[in-house]
A = this chain, B = another copy of it.
C-alpha cells in the first residue's frame, strides 16, 4: 500500500481547524531523548544505530497513544514518500534523508509522531491545529512519562536530558508554532517583529524549519533555550509571545484594510487571477499566492467557506503530494510539476468566484487606495 493512502486523506486534513487558526496554523511540542551507553545517531556506527532502533521501535509502538498507528523504517520509503511526510510536517527534512536504522511512528490522528534516530535517538512530537501549545505539551509529556517507565534515558543530574546538540540539552524541549503573517509582511513590519522576538530568546524560521525561507508569509516561532527553565514555563512564555504576535498581525490587517484597502484588494485579486489562469507555476509562487487567498478570506473578499479548498491546494500543490495524487510518473522534472500544478490549480479554482471588494465593509474604502510609498 502506498504511503499516501496510509496517511489521513487530504480532504480530511484540509478541514481541520483549531483556536486562532487564522494566524496560528499549527502548534508543536517536541522532546529530544536518548538512550544511555549508545552513541548519538550522528556519531553511531550502523550497528549501534540499528541496535537503538530495534530497541526503541517496539517500545514506542507499544505506548498506548501510539498503538495501532503507522510505523515505518525510513529505508522502506521512497524519496517521494519521505517528501510527503516532510510536506505534512510529520518528519523533519533531516529525518527524510535517513535510511537504515531510522524510522518513525505516527498515531492514527496524526497528532503524535516520533522520529527514531533523527539527530537524537528519539524526537517525539505532539502536533495540534491552531494555538494549542499547552495541549500539545500535555500530550507529549504523557508520552514521555510512559516512555520513562519502559526504558532508561540518558540523563544527567546536573544538565538534565542529554542530547546530541547542546542547544537541546536539559529539557530537550522545542515548542513551536507556525504563524501566517501576511498583514505584517504587507505592512513591512515583520522584520521588527522578528527582531523583537529574537531579543526574547525565541527563534523565527521559515516554512520547513531551520535555514528555510519564509514562503507563503509563514513563519515558525520557537524557543531557543532548553536549560534553566521548566517546560511549562517555556510553553507559557511562547504562548504569551504568540498571543502578542497575533495581536500585531490582527492590527496590521485591520490597519491595511482601513487605510489601504485597495492595496489589499490588489494583492488578493492578482493572486487569484494568476492562480486561476497560469499554465505553469512554481511551488514557491503558489505558496505565496495561496497565502494571499487566505488573507482574502480573512478580509472577506473571498467567501469563508472556500477555506478547506485553499487549505487543500496549499497541501496538494507541494511537489510530492502533487506527483503522488495527480501523476502516474515515477519521476517528474520540476518544470513538468510546474505545469501539472497549474492544471490542478485552474481546475480546482474554476468554481471559486473572483474576489469581490464590495463584500468588504471597510471604513477606508473610499480612499485613493494608493500603496505605501515605494
On A, residues with C-beta under 8 Å from B are 262-263, 265-266, 269-270, 272-280, 333, 335-336, 338-339, 342, 354-355, 357, 368-371
Q: Within the complex, which residue of B263, B273, B280, B370 is in contact with A276, where a contact is CB–CB below 8 Å?
A: B273
Q: List residues of chain B with CB within 8 A of the CB of A274.
A: 270, 273-274
Interchain CA distance A279-B280 in the complex, whole Å: 24
Q: List residues of chain B with CB within 8 A of the CB of A280.
A: 262-263, 266, 369-371
Interchain CA distance A272-B336 in the complex, whole Å: 23
Q: Given A273-B272, A273-B273, do A339 and B278 touch, yes or no (CB 8 Å)?
A: no
A370 in contact with B273 (CB, 8 Å): no
Q: List residues of chain B with CB within 8 A of the CB of A333.
A: 368, 370
Q: List residues of chain B with CB within 8 A of the CB of A276.
A: 273, 354
Which residue of chain B is the closest to A276 with respect to CB atoms? Answer: B273
* Central interface residue in A266, A276, A280, by most chain B CB within 10 Å: A280
B279 in contact with A354 (CB, 8 Å): no
B262 in contact with A270 (CB, 8 Å): no
Q: List residues of chain B with CB within 8 A of the CB of A269.
A: 277-279
B273 in contact with A369 (CB, 8 Å): no
Interchain CA distance A280-B278 in the complex, whole Å: 20
A97: min CB distance to chain B, Å: 28
- Would you list 24 pairs from A and B whose C-beta atoms are within 8 A, ordered by A residue? A262-B279, A263-B279, A265-B279, A266-B278, A266-B342, A270-B277, A270-B278, A272-B277, A273-B273, A273-B277, A277-B355, A280-B369, A280-B370, A280-B371, A333-B368, A333-B370, A335-B368, A335-B370, A335-B371, A336-B368, A336-B370, A338-B370, A339-B368, A339-B369
Q: List residues of chain B with CB within 8 A of the CB of A357.
A: 279
Interchain CA distance A270-B275 in the complex, whole Å: 8
Which residue of chain B is the closest to A368 with respect to CB atoms? Answer: B336
Interchain CA distance A374-B60 in the complex, whole Å: 48
Interchain CA distance A279-B371 in the complex, whole Å: 11
B270 in contact with A370 (CB, 8 Å): no
A266: min CB distance to chain B, Å: 4
A36: min CB distance to chain B, Å: 54
